[in-house]
């Protein structure tokens, strides 16, 4: 097992990417060394590495790995092939193609493998700084809490380190303040039970897993003093798409007068969307609900509705915690103010 | 498979109890014939038959099966042994010892095996009438709905037939009005997915299983016009203990201005309790959350909180649907009025 300490899902070591294979968690902690572009692509495609920032970073290193033994005239053609090969591993993941393209642009300009590696290291380092900024901005909001509730995994495992929703908790830990975290198990894929509980335990932060349906009682009994979640996409008015269950939590938090925070990089704001109704909601395979551990749970005659995300209207969100600072209401105005910040 | 029609979890046939083995649902529909007291006890102890009224009925028939071949002086001693043997199968199930004792009293008075069978048949028939009354009283409340949401299984499978929360839906079906039912999957034991979805499908009622955390969106989108749940115990002021997740649903229903009904036999009111704070809440084994289908979901370092029930304060309940009629607010008063009804 890893030593107690903040988890990193991937790192660069001896000219290879090392990743924690997330498919095996929490049963097995296994580090895989990815030394060529083929194994990087396979790890991304099979979800051994997951979380938008983390797969972007892996893809960036993958470009370097695909190019490092190449010299000469084939450079540009090969660079295009490597980029296409990597980006197609998860075609809808915006961060992956964004990160791959950023390294490819450096490659076209420099035709130099060391410059590719430097670009990938920069992307990794930027993500670390961004997560740490979210943590530092969020820490004061949670400082007076003894416990918080979170949903799904918006933690270190999906980024370079620290994550987004969990970043303020790690930031407080680095100052010697330990919060207790309640983690919704997060059906149907159990990211809360499998991933959030694992990374917090590894970091030495006490965590209690609950069924999603027990969150209301946790709030009613005052076991937590805040709710913190991540976000997949935020409209310009603050309406927020995140893992299914987030909206219900937000309503329950308001009902119990408990603050509800959304932590995300500012790049999660999709300023082309005026409100949440414009965010497309992915419906995932019924199989995720029909079977559990190989056993059939839902009978054949029954229908299944399995939306991956829901949209929480901005009015339920106490504040956003971003790398550009905490954004309080009123929302369209306060969000707009951060669009061209002086950092 | 059974023919389409309202499911019965047990019935009396050829001098034996026939039960649907609920441990195997929804993967396998298997009827087991229990022709002696030993197999009845084993079926109760292993949850092949479940639900308070259903195990009471099975226990009542079990007394007859344990006594039918006996004549002479051993009668009273044997009757006591059979009763103790059956009641100890699930010592905390109030309905089981209540039903067994009722048949035993008949036995002590009559010393006649046919009288034991008649008593068991009466208990079965009374439960059927009681569920049907709940259905008939509840039907007008749901008549204008196109769809309703339910949680856990408070259906035919836990009673003689029709159940409690699902009884109004079956009553409407018998009048030719078909509702669509959304069923929360109900973690951690999946009673909604496994049992509610199965019995409704069998009865020809369309059912859609959702993750518990999607209920908020179902309510927000107006996919249902009412929520109906059962109850495990109701205090004299109307505070209601039921499966974990019920309280959150009640808060969400109120927030979305959707009526929230609790359907239960009047015997579920525990008039010795003044309010919900006096209802003891059972916490179940962490294993139910830690493992799913044999796979470890929660890591070893993490804690688990797995309350079996929660308490919904009376103020969130639009009305109770009972065998003594619909009970609207104000609660302590309206409930008290039904204590000695003229039926």
* pLDDT value at residue B52: 83
With contacts defined as CB-CB under 8 Å, which chain A residues touch B305? 182, 208-210, 214, 218
When pLDDT is averaged across residues A12-41 and rounded to a whole number, the result is 95
For the cut 70, the answer to whether the pLDDT of residue B2 exceeds it is no
For the cut 80, the answer to whether the pLDDT of residue B73 exceeds it is no
For the cut 90, the answer to whether the pLDDT of residue A153 exceeds it is yes
Number of residues that this document lists for chain A? 343
For tokens 């790398």, name the residue.
A323
With contacts defined as CB-CB under 8 Å, which chain B residues touch A147? none
pLDDT interval class at B4 (50, 70, 90): very low
Contact A248 B244 (CB under 8 A): no
* pLDDT value at residue A47: 87
- For an interface test with B, give the residue of A302, A308, A312, A313 to mutate (most B CBs within 10 A): A302
With contacts defined as CB-CB under 8 Å, which chain A residues touch B185? 187, 289, 297-298
Name which of A4-8, B197-201, B240-244 the model is least confident about.
A4-8
For the cut 80, the answer to whether the pLDDT of residue A217 exceeds it is yes
Q: What does pLDDT average to over chain A?
A: 93
Determine the distance in angstroms separating the CA of B188 from the nearest CA of chain A, rounded to an integer: 7
When pLDDT is averaged across residues B4-27 and rounded to a whole number, the result is 89
What's the token pair of residue B190? 């999946």
> Alpha helix (H) ranges present in chain B?
37-45, 52-67, 75-87, 94-110, 113-142, 167-174, 191, 197-202, 215-220, 246-255, 287-290, 331-337
* pLDDT value at residue B341: 54
pLDDT interval class at B93 (50, 70, 90): low
β B260-263/B295-296 pair status: unpaired
Determine the distance in angstroms separating the CA of B62 from the nearest CA of chain A, rounded to an integer: 31
Active-site residue identified among A232, A239, A310, A323: A232
Q: What does pLDDT average to over chain B?
A: 93
* pLDDT value at residue B219: 98
pLDDT digits (tens, 9 = 90+) for B250-296: 999 999 999 999 999 998 898 899 999 998 887 888 999 999 988 89
pLDDT digits (tens, 9 = 90+) for A231-240: 988 999 999 9
Residue of B nearest to A192 (CA): B298
β B16-20/B31-34 pair status: antiparallel
pLDDT interval class at A1 (50, 70, 90): very low
Catalytic residues of B: 232
ipTM: 0.91
pLDDT interval class at A93 (50, 70, 90): low
pLDDT digits (tens, 9 = 90+) for A247-305: 999 999 999 999 999 999 998 898 899 999 998 887 888 999 999 988 899 999 999 99
When pLDDT is averaged across residues B134-144 and rounded to a whole number, the result is 98
Alpha-carbon span A145 to B34, nearest angstrom: 57
pTM for the whole thing? 0.91
Alpha-carbon span A22 to B6, nearest angstrom: 45
- For an interface test with B, give the residue of A298, A308, A310, A311 to mutate (most B CBs within 10 A): A298
From the list B201, B206, B211, the residue facing A244 with the nearest CB is B211
- Looking from the CA of B284 toward its CB, the CA atoms found within 13 Å total 17
For the cut 50, the answer to whether the pLDDT of residue B3 exceeds it is no
**Which domains are seen in chain B, by residue range?**
10-127 (1.20.120.420), 133-338 (3.40.50.10470)
Contact A214 B289 (CB under 8 A): no
- Looking from the CA of A106 toward its CB, the CA atoms found within 13 Å total 22
């Amino acid at each position: 097992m890893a030593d107690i300490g903040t988890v990193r899902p991937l790192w660069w070591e001896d000219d290879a990417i090392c990743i924690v294979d997330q498919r095996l968690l929490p049963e097995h902690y296994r580090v895989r060394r990815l030394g060529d572009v083929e194994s990087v692509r396979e790890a991304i495609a099979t979800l051994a590495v997951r979380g938008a920032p983390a797969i972007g970073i892996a893809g960036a290193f993958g470009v370097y790995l695909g190019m490092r033994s190449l010299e000469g005239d084939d450079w540009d053609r090969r660079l295009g092939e490597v980029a296409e090969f990597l980006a197609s591993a998860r075609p809808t993941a915006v961060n992956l193609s964004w990160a791959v393209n950023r390294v490819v642009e450096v490659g076209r300009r420099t035709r130099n493998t060391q410059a590719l590696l430097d670009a990938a290291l920069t992307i990794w380092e930027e993500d670390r700084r961004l997560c740490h900024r979210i943590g530092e901005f969020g820490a004061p909001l949670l400082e007076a809490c003894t416990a918080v509730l979170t949903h799904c995994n918006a933690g270190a495992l999906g980024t370079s380190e620290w994550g987004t929703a969990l970043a303020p908790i790690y930031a407080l830990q680095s100052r010697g303040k330990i919060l207790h975290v309640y983690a919704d198990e997060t059906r149907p894929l159990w990211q809360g039970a499998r991933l959030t509980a694992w990374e917090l335990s590894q970091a030495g932060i006490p965590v209690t897993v609950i069924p999603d349906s027990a969150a209301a009682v946790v709030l009613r009994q005052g076991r937590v003093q805040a709710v913190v979640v991540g976000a997949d996409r935020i409209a310009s008015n603050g309406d927020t798409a995140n893992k299914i269950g987030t909206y219900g939590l937000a309503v329950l938090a308001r009902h119990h007068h408990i603050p509800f925070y959304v932590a995300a990089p500012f790049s999660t704001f999709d300023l082309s969307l005026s409100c949440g109704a414009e965010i497309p909601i992915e419906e995932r395979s019924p199989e995720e609900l029909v079977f559990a551990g190989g056993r059939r749970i839902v009978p054949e005659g029954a229908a299944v509705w399995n939306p991956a995300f829901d949209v929480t209207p901005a009015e339920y969100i106490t504040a956003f915690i971003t790398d550009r600072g905490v954004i309080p209401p009123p929302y369209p105005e306060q969000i707009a103010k951060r669009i061209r910040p002086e950092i």
